[in-house]
Amino acid sequence: MIIESLQAIETPQDTSVAAQVDPAKVKELMANLQELLEDDNTDAADVLDELLPLLGTHHKSDVNALATFIEEYEFEDALVILGAIIEGRGTS
């Protein structure tokens, strides 16, 4: 599921879709994802699937790493990457 969502990120997004992204929704999903990761809850994968289309290509390498860590149940590492994305600095 996550891999398919990542492949969607790799395709160019229509800028009109990007303009319609609700920043409050992105923030809400990121907070939810962070909480699930802190609780080692595998539902984090479902939240990431919902979040990926909203992120577009922003922080693409970090988003790829985040997805990989979640798929491998490496939630502590995923939290580090998510924190970097939330702070807007990324790791790459």
Banded model confidence at residue 89, pLDDT cuts 50, 70, 90 = low
Task: Tell me what pLDDT residue 72 has.
Answer: 97
Task: Tell me what pLDDT residue 16 has.
Answer: 47
| Tens-digit pLDDT profile for residues 25-76 | 999 999 999 999 999 999 999 999 999 998 878 778 999 999 999 999 999 9
Provide the H-helix boundaries in 11-74. 15-19, 23-38, 44-55, 60-71
d(CA 41, CA 75): 9
**Conformation bin of residue 41: beta by default, left when phi > 0, alpha when psi is -120 to 50:** beta
In this prediction the pTM is: 0.75
Q: Is-contact 37 77, C-beta < 8 A?
A: no
Judged by DSSP in three states, 23 sits in helix
* Mean pLDDT score across all residues of the chain: 83
